[in-house]
Amino acid sequence: MKATARLNQLGQSLWLDNITRKMLGDDTLAGYIEELSVTGLTSNPSIFDKAISSGDSYDAQIAEVSAAAQAGEGVGANVDERVFFELAVADLQDATKLFAKVHERTDGVDGWCSLEVSPLLADDAEATTEQAALLHAKAERENLYIKIPGTTAGLTAIEETIFAGIPVNVTLLFDDAQYLAAADAYMKGIERRIEAGLNPAVASVASIFMSRWDVAVADEVPSELRDKLAIAIGGRTYRAYSELLASERFRRLQNEGARAQRLLWASTGTKDPDASDTLYIEAFASPFTVNTMPEPTLLAFADHGEIGQLVPDDGGNAELVLRQFADGGIDVKALAARLQGEGKQSFNKSWEELLSSISSQLG
């Protein structure tokens, strides 16, 4: 049995952090579902930029939808955005079909794909909420998450979007405090639905980014602490997640029919060339969570991954390791805020590069 299948049997969902029209058409993704236990998919602007700019798979549709986009039809603030969302929605409609059986078999717990709102709206709650609704309605897929960043404005948009009954993948989270803020926004949306007499079973995941922690401190810590900060942050966050699921507040919601917002491990590709290429997959093996993996990481884990101890509910030795970083002058709270800010800037840059790629093809 492949390591991917063993990990899935232990209760973790394995999602692919990639999408291209080619992998949809040549059965690559179907093969991952069948052979590597992949049960979902995430996307982002950088992934779509690489897919659109690296071949001619999208040329025909770009030509087809450009006139309508120029006439103001579609979702987006400008022609390039409107064209992109047409391309992305088409791909994700095809991807969600491939995961429809998983979605049905798990009664909506798994089998999800994700589409991101424009990152340029990260500080505009109203615009984010509006675009989330438009994109979800346009896609017409019940197993599609709309990705919303866990920024200050994003938290308001998350609550409103959940209240509207739209599934949300909260992105751009880096530590337990940011995760808990996102979870609070999710539960507020559910609580409002219950008060309004609406169905509280609205799905969500909260995506915490891991590898960027170790990249950020790689030149500031001794060798014995190298590649250990992300794992410690993950342990602390998993403890917060476990405590929240056992909390009185969540259990009241669960009793009304609410679903748990699952924790999702993101940015799990190893950046350190001297570290194991399956480092973050093995470190974050944990039931009732999701691990979304870049394609090379998925293939590496399927080939030679090993599963040891699962993440303990109490986070294991996370606090001990984090004290070592604190003693070394690393302020993890300040670093989490910095990483979220840098992540927002990185997403904006990727978005602009994506739109530039589309603009160059429009001529």
Residue numbers annotated as active site: 147
List all residues 6 or more positions away from 248 whose beta carbon is below 8 Å from its beta carbon. Answer: none
SS3 332: helix
> For 296, phi and psi rounded to 5 degrees?
-60, -35
**Helix residue ranges per DSSP H, 99-167:** 100-105, 125-139, 152-163
- CB-based contact 39:33 (threshold 8 Å): yes
Residue 233's nearest CA partner among 266, 255, 188, 195 is 266
DSSP 210: -
CA torsion angle 356 358 362 363 (round to 10): 30
- CB-based contact 273:246 (threshold 8 Å): no
Residue 206's nearest CA partner among 164, 240, 166, 169 is 169
- Amino acid, res. 146: I
